[in-house]
């Protein structure tokens, strides 16, 4: 292949430089981006030339990692200035979730290719806009759902699809990871020195900081995060869609949960389960637990030994795993096949290769795929938010269409009891079985109350000048 054919199109078109190195800008240099920087520094044919963060301390930290490796990158506070830099071919967006869509759209408009972290959007409406932007500006946009690149998980999916252990009966994705209390602040907190809070807040409502930590704990505030369903659950929902080959949204879904045993500043549930039914596919459950196995306990619950991953139950056995590969067992629990994985380490390489070839079809998590998976998080969360306090008996009645669903409800109830949650009252918030029309962008099935709550949350009121544009 000649140099000319592997030139990243954006920079080649702009300055015609005979340089096949893809020059990257990193937007958002918090905890996740540091791992990305270390990984990207080890790859050939790519150079980090710009970093952007609204927190001067995080920007400095990112630059010091680069300096240690002899790399100098321009620093920016405002991503729009980074996007103005013609030396930048492509950007890696690692901001909090409420910025993902707008940053992606701005980057596409500026002619940059994009790697955007999961969930690629903060709400349902943004999904359409990021895909429109990627298509209009012909950008190569990869979602940061790296399990799609895991060698072992991909092989296991093939094995299951070939019917080697019979028909799939159900799939259960789960992530049981303790989340400590955030504490409760008495009033608005001082914004840390060196942070541009207007830029940090961006498209979200401008509210005083009402928690101890600005960074990371935005996950538990609906204005900026998507709870653990849009965080850890984003991977499990994506794994389910990947394993089942789901290319549409579920025909109906129900979500239950609550925030328990943590009287703190977090809003989002710390125990949550989504039940999804896709057309012509087995039922899916994605379940998250942020509490230990019992009050004050040191361990987390597990399902067949899994604390983060998936169980795919088939007629003659099951798969257990996900990121990092996994194992096929027979129904007596005897190992049949092992699929060692690589934790999706080539996900960036897959993106960089597609930038060179301009073949978006070769991306393992092209933006449309990323949007679909993000939409699963949003459907689950909007169903949860439109739910009402419900007795366990009623929850069981509602979801109990098949054995594993009933077992899951029982298991959640026992888990809550072990954490001293009184289930005699209606302790679980539970939705009805709802449906979503992605063309009309409208919910149904949730009752007048449920539908109206969910419909009102399809698109937020953005804060000027950070509106996600109607026309990209
Ligand atoms: N794929 C994965 O496995 C994985 C793992 C962890 C995190 N993530 C994703 O990465 C993203 C970041 O997570 P994190 O844990 O690093 O969060 P974080 O809060 O530690 O870091 C976010 C950084 O973005 C900066 N930022 C905020 N607004 C910005 C703006 N407008 N411009 C530039 N920088 C801005 C913040 O100052 C902060 O430094 C999240 O979307 C998360 O879901 C993905």
Q: What is the whole-number distance in angstroms between the Cα of residue 19 and the centre of ligand 1?
A: 30
Q: How far is the CA of 439 from the centre of ligand 1 (A)?
A: 30
Q: Is residue 461 part of a domain?
A: no
Tokens 């549409």, located at residue: 248
Instruction: Give yes or no: residues 130 and 157 share one domain.
Output: no
Question: Does the pLDDT at position 125 exceed 60?
Answer: yes
Q: Is pLDDT at 11 greater than 60 in this prediction? A: no
pLDDT in tens, 370-389: 999 999 999 999 999 999 99
> What integer pLDDT is reported at residue 429 of this predicted model?
97
Query: d(Cα 397, Cα 400) in Å, to the nearest integer?
Result: 5
Mean pLDDT of all residues in 24-33: 98
User: For atom 13 of ligand 1, which residue has the closest CA?
Assistant: 32
Cα–Cα dist 302/310, whole Å: 11
- Distance from residue 144's CA to the centre of ligand 1 (Å): 12
Answer yes or no: is 464 within a domain: no
pLDDT confidence tier of residue 56, bands split at 50, 70 and 90: very high
H-type helices in 42-182, by residue range?
A: 56-68, 79-84, 100-109, 124-136, 151-161
* b (16+ CB within 10 A) / e for 163-188: eebeebebbbbbbbeebeebeeeeee
Question: What DSSP element (H or E) covers 238?
Answer: helix 232-244
Would residue 469 count as lying in a domain? Answer: no
pLDDT at 18: 39
Q: How far is the CA of 215 from the centre of ligand 1 (A)?
A: 8
* Any ligand 1 atom below 6 A from CB of 82: no
Return d(Cα 402, Cα 171) in angstroms, integer: 12
**Domain end residue (candidates: 148, 178, 208):** 148
Domain closes at, from 120, 148, 176: 148
Predicted confidence (pLDDT) at residue 10 exceeds the cutoff of 50: no
Please tell me the distance from the alpha carbon of residue 375 to that of residue 216, in angstroms, as a whole number.
Answer: 22
Instruction: Please give the average per-residue pLDDT across 166-186, as a whole number.
Output: 97
Same domain, 242 and 374: yes
307 contacts 292 by C-beta, under 8 angstroms: no
378 with 395, same domain?
yes
Q: Examine residue 119 and say whether the peptide bond preceding it is cis (omega within 30 degrees of 0).
A: yes
pLDDT (0 to 100) of residue 19: 60
- 238 with 298, same domain: the answer is yes
Ligand 1 atom 10, closest CA: 94
Residues 176 and 367: beta-carbon distance below 8 Å:
no
Q: Is the CB of 459 under 6 A from ligand 1?
A: no
Candidate of 34, 95, 126 to mutate for ligand 1, largest count of ligand atoms within 8 Å of Cβ = 95
Kindly state if the Cβ of 402 falls inside 6 Å of ligand 1. Answer: no
pLDDT value at 235 more than 90:
yes
pLDDT (tens digit, 9 = 90+) per residue, 452-472? 999 999 999 999 999 999 999
Best CA proximity match to 32, nearest among 155, 199, 192, 146: 146
Domain annotation covers residue 463: no
| Residue 443 in domain | yes
Give, rounded to a whole angstrom, the gap between the first and last alpha carbons of the chain. 34
Rounded (5°) CA angle 243-245-251: 110
Minimum-distance ligand 1 atom for the alpha carbon of 99: 31
160 contacts 134 by C-beta, under 8 angstroms: no
- The answer as to whether 45 is a domain residue is yes
Distance CA 150, CA 336 (A): 20
Q: Is the CB of 29 under 6 A from ligand 1?
A: yes
CATH code for the domain of 110: 3.40.50.720
pTM recorded for the entire structure: 0.96
Report which ligand 1 atom has the smallest distance to the Cα of 145: 1
Ligand 1 pocket test: pick from 25, 28, 83, 463 the residue with the most ligand atoms within 8 Å of its Cβ: 28
Residue 245 contacts residue 252 (beta carbons within 8 Å)? no
Distance CA 207, CA 188 (A): 9
Helices 232-244, 367-385: axis angle to 10 degrees equals: 120
Compute the distance between CA of residue 54 and CA of residue 466 in angstroms, rounded to an integer: 15
- Is residue 19 included in any domain, yes or no? yes
The domain total for the chain is 2
Q: Which pLDDT score is estimated for 20?
A: 87
Residue 361 falls within a domain, yes or no?
Answer: no
Query: CB neighbours (10 Å) of residue 100?
Result: 29
pLDDT band at 151 (very low <50, low <70, confident <90, very high): very high
Query: Which range has the worst mean pLDDT, 12-21, 193-202, 250-259, 263-272?
Result: 12-21
Give the mean model confidence (pLDDT) for residues 283-306. Answer: 97
Q: Measured from the CB, is residue 126 less than 6 Å from ligand 1?
A: no
Residue 97 C-alpha to ligand 1 middle, in angstroms? 7
pLDDT at 423: 86
Distance from Cα 95 to the centre of ligand 1, integer Å = 4
CA of 259 to the centre of ligand 1 (A): 23
**Do 23 and 77 fall within a single domain?**
yes
Last residue of a domain, one of 92, 115, 148: 148
- In sequence order, the 6+-apart residues with CB closer than 8 A to the CB of 329 are 317, 318, 319, 320, 335, 336
CA distance 192 to 77: 15
Q: Any idea what the CATH number is for the domain that residue 333 is in? A: 3.30.360.10
Is the CB of residue 146 below 6 angstroms from any atom belonging to ligand 1? yes
Question: Do 87 and 157 have their domain in common?
Answer: no
Question: What does pLDDT average to over the chain?
Answer: 95
Looking at the structure, do residues 124 and 264 belong to the same domain, yes or no?
no
Does 449 contact ligand 1 (Cβ within 6 A)? Answer: no
Residue minimizing CA distance to atom 6 of ligand 1: 32
Domain that holds residue 86: 4-148
Question: Same structural domain for residues 46 and 88?
Answer: yes
Neighbour-count burial for 331-343, b at 16+ CB within 10 Å, e otherwise: eeeeeebebebbb
Q: Is the CB of 199 under 6 A from ligand 1?
A: yes
Pair 379, 237 in one domain: yes
Q: How far is the CA of 94 from the centre of ligand 1 (A)?
A: 4
Q: How far is the CA of 53 from the centre of ligand 1 (A)?
A: 10
CB of 229 within 6 A of ligand 1: the answer is no
Q: How confident is the model at residue 425 (pLDDT cuts 50, 70, 90)?
A: confident
- Asked if residue 213 and residue 81 are part of one domain, the reply reads no
pLDDT of residue 7: 40
How far is the centre of ligand 1, averaged over its atoms, from the C-alpha of 52 (Å)?
11
Please give the pLDDT value at position 424.
83
Residue 5 has pLDDT above 60, yes or no: no
Assess whether 298 and 173 both reside in one domain.
yes
- 451 and 372 in a single domain? The answer is yes
Phi, psi of 182 (to 5 degrees): -80, -10
Whole-angstrom Cα distance, residue 244 to residue 224?
A: 30
C-alpha 251 to ligand 1 mean position (Å): 32
């Amino acid at each position: 292949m000649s140099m000319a054919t592997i030139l990243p199109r954006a920079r080649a078109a702009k300055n015609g430089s005979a340089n096949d190195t893809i020059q990257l800008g990193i937007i958002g240099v918090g905890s996740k981006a540091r791992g990305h920087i270390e990984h990207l520094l080890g790859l050939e044919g790519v150079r980090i030339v710009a970093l952007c963060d609204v927190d001067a301390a995080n920007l400095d930290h990112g630059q010091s990692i680069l300096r240690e490796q002899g790399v100098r990158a321009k620093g920016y506070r405002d991503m729009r200035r980074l996007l103005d830099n013609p030396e930048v071919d492509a950007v890696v967006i690692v901001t909090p979730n409420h910025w993902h869509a707008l940053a992606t759209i701005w980057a596409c408009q500026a002619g940059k290719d994009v790697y955007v972290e999961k969930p690629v959007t903060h709400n349902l409406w943004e999904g359409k806009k990021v895909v429109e932007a990627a298509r209009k500006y012909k950008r190569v946009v990869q979602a940061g759902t790296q399990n799609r690149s895991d060698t072992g998980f991909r092989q296991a999916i093939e094995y299951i699809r070939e019917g080697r252990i019979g028909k799939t009966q159900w799939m259960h994705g789960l992530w049981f990871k303790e989340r400590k209390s955030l504490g409760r602040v008495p009033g608005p907190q001082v914004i840390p020195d060196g942070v541009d809070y207007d830029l940090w807040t961006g498209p979200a409502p401008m509210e005083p900081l009402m928690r101890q930590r600005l960074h990371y704990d935005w996950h538990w505030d609906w204005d900026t995060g998507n709870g653990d369903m849009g965080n850890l659950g984003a991977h499990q929902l994506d794994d389910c869609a990947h394993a089942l080959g789901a290319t549409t949204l579920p025909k109906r879904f129900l979500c239950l949960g609550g925030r328990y045993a943590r009287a703190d500043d977090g809003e989002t549930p710390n125990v949550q389960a989504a039940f999804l039914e896709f057309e012509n596919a087995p039922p899916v459950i994605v379940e998250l637990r942020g509490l230990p196995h019992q009050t004050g306990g040191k361990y987390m619950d597990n399902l067949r030994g899994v604390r983060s991953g998936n169980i795919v139950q088939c007629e003659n056995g099951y798969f257990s795993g996900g990121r990092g590969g996994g194992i096929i067992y027979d129904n007596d629990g005897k190992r049949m096949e092992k699929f060692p994985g690589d934790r999706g380490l080539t996900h960036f390489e897959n993106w960089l290769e597609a930038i060179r070839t301009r073949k978006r079809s070769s991306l393992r998590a092209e933006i449309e795929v990323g949007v679909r998976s993000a939409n699963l998080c949003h459907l689950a969360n909007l169903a949860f938010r439109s739910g009402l306090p419900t007795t366990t008996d009623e929850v069981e009645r509602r979801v109990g269409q098949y054995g594993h669903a009933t077992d899951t409800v029982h298991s959640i109830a026992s888990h809550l009891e072990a954490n001293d949650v009184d289930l005699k009252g209606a302790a679980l918030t539970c939705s009805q079985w709802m449906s979503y029309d992605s063309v009309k962008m409208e919910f149904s099935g949730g009752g007048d109350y449920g539908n109206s709550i969910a419909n009102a949350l399809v698109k937020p009121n953005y804060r000027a000048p950070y509106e996600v544009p109607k026309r990209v």
